[in-house]
């Protein structure tokens, strides 16, 4: 049976700002090695009470064990992960975070933000139902592992109900949603803490080596924020592509029905030939739509992975800027140690990101080719329809062939309109990819500045 340690919990949220970032490192067993001031303050513990303790010290009993199984299985496979986590402060109060954990040498690095998107209340309800299933399994006498398996099945079912194929698909969208919402909030609020830091560096520390490093890293922050905004637009376009594909499949099905009925109604070789041509052109169109749908889904998967990489890189870069502030104004040796780790992690993540951006150049070229093929097919369908209308005009009014080709007119017209929209949207996406590559070039240049300033500031 699965037993939980009884904890005192208070149904009151512990407050912290959307502009704040948590940071901590653990060893491979999850024992806390370090944490920043935000982590310590919000947890309610003294730093000495956290260091050397398992990260589960702040676990809230409302968290399903299965979520942590997914979390640990992923990072132990040396893959990054993002998850909504409800934590318990020393006071018994709770606080939610979106946690992003990545493997580092002999341990893990975790950066957390305050979740503010519309997904949080949905996830809270999902966790409650998954936890109830785990409790029920535990009460039935199942082992801990068996209980967690029940929770995993429940979590998967919940994600499917929300439209996500699996947990990675969910976490990619969730992190992108949280980062986009956070970025928009900070832009609107014009956070005082960020303004203060900018003015401090701008007004009296131009010659300081650490300020030069901070300026270079801050430029990387801005580049990544711009990339995230560009990716958000691309994701919206790709969503409209999916909707267009599904609509075209419905239109193609209606044309197929007309082609079948036309074959049945055909009473001459000419009518049979027209019906056969319509069926063949519809089949080619249907196959092309399926191919386009596969391409769009592949691009969608690639976009979400790229968005995730940008989000992780942006978080690691921003927390590095935070430690640069600490070093500048407090000369903290622990902050310097953390900074070296974060800059190294950020550099590695950016290399992964650059590889993804290089592949992105080809994503929409295949979609453009398929769209051109579809547009050509739709024009062929229109020509065949006109031939059918011409032949039908020679038939007696009561002939079954008569009205069939009038019924298919709107479907073909809609196909042509969708193809034109897809063509225009694809061109827009290719333009946005070019914008991303311009940003990549700028980011690469700024990253090189960071490397140079880092070698001059932190080494030797």
Cα dihedral 412, 414, 418, 419, rounded to 10, equals 20
The pLDDT-based confidence of 354 (bands split at 50, 70, 90) is confident
CB 82 within 8 A of CB 56: no
| Whether residue 109 has pLDDT greater than 50 | yes
* Cα–Cα distance, 24 to 26 (Å, whole number): 7
Q: What is the pLDDT of residue 206?
A: 52
What's the maximum distance between 2 C-alpha atoms anywhere in the chain?
96
Q: Does residue 100 or residue 263 have the better pLDDT? A: 100
Q: What is the mean pLDDT of residues 145-174?
A: 96
Q: What is the CA radius of gyration of the chain?
A: 28
Q: What is the mean pLDDT of residues 237-265?
A: 88
Q: Does residue 168 or residue 348 have the better pLDDT? A: 168
The pLDDT tens digits for 119-132 are: 999 999 999 999 99
| Whether residue 197 has pLDDT greater than 50 | no
Q: What is the pLDDT of residue 327?
A: 67
Q: What is the mean pLDDT of residues 68-86?
A: 96
Most confident of 120-134, 190-204, 306-320, 355-369: 120-134
Residue with tokens 């020679």: 394
* Cα–Cα distance, 418 to 123 (Å, whole number): 35
How is the chain split into domains, by residue range? 1-181, 209-457
CB 41 within 8 A of CB 341: no
Q: Where are the alpha helices (DSSP H) in 190-268?
A: 192-204, 209-265
The pLDDT tens digits for 200-216 are: 444 444 557 778 888 88
Among the listed residues 277, 305, 271, the one whose alpha carbon sits nearest the alpha carbon of residue 383: 277
* Cα–Cα distance, 110 to 120 (Å, whole number): 19
Cα dihedral 311, 317, 323, 328, rounded to 10, equals -140
Residue with tokens 């950016």: 350
Mean pLDDT of the chain: 87
Q: What is the mean pLDDT of residues 269-292?
A: 91
CATH architecture of 1-181: 2-Layer Sandwich (3.30)
Q: What is the mean pLDDT of residues 125-145?
A: 97
| Whether residue 227 has pLDDT greater than 50 | yes
The pLDDT-based confidence of 195 (bands split at 50, 70, 90) is very low
The SS3 call for residue 82 is strand
Signed CA dihedral, 207, 210, 211, 215: sign only: positive
Signed CA dihedral, 354, 357, 359, 361: sign only: negative
Q: What is the pLDDT of residue 7?
A: 67
**Assigned CATH for 209-457:** 1.20.1170
């Amino acid at each position: 049976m699965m037993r939980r340690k009884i904890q005192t919990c208070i149904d009151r949220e512990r407050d912290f700002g959307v502009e704040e970032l948590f940071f901590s490192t653990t060893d491979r067993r999850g024992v806390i090695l370090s944490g920043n001031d935000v982590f310590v303050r919000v947890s309610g513990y003294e730093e000495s009470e956290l260091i050397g303790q398992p990260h589960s010290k702040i676990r809230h009993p409302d968290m399903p064990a299965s979520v942590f199984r997914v979390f640990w299985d992923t990072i132990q496979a040396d893959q990054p992960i993002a998850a909504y986590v409800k934590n318990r402060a020393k006071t018994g109060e709770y606080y939610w975070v979106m946690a992003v954990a990545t493997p580092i040498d002999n341990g893990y690095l975790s950066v957390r933000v305050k979740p503010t998107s519309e997904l949080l209340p949905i996830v809270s309800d999902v966790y409650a139902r998954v936890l109830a299933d785990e409790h029920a399994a535990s009460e039935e006498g199942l082992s801990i592992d068996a209980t967690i398996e029940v929770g995993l099945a429940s979590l998967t079912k919940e994600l499917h109900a929300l439209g996500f194929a699996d947990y990675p698909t969910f976490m990619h969208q969730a992190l992108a949603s949280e980062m986009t919402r956070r970025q928009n909030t900070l832009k609107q609020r014009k956070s005082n803490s960020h303004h203060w830091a900018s003015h401090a560096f701008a007004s009296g520390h131009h010659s300081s080596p650490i300020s030069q490093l901070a300026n270079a890293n801050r430029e990387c922050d801005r580049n990544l924020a711009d990339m995230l905004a560009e990716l958000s637009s691309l994701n919206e376009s790709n969503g409209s592509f999916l909707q267009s594909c599904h609509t075209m499949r419905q239109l193609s099905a209606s044309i197929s029905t007309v082609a079948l009925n036309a074959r049945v109604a055909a009473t001459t070789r000419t009518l049979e030939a027209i019906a056969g041509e319509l069926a063949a052109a519809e089949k080619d169109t249907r196959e092309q739509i399926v191919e386009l749908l596969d391409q769009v889904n592949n691009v969608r998967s690639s976009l979400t992975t790229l968005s995730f990489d940008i989000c992780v890189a942006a978080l690691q870069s921003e927390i590095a800027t935070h430690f640069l502030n600490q070093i500048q104004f407090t000369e903290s040796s622990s902050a310097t140690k953390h900074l070296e780790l974060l800059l190294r992690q950020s550099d590695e993540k950016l290399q992964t990101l650059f590889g993804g951006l290089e592949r992105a150049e080809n994503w929409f070229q295949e979609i453009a080719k398929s769209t051109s093929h579809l547009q050509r097919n739709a024009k062929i369908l229109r020509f065949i329809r006109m031939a059918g209308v011409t032949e039908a005009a020679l038939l007696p009014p009561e002939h079954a062939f008569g009205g069939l080709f009038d019924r298919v007119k709107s479907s073909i017209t809609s196909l042509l309109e969708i193809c034109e929209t897809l063509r225009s949207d694809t061109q827009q996406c290719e333009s946005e990819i070019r914008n991303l590559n311009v940003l990549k070039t700028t980011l690469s240049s700024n990253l090189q500045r960071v490397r140079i300033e880092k070698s001059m500031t932190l080494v030797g």
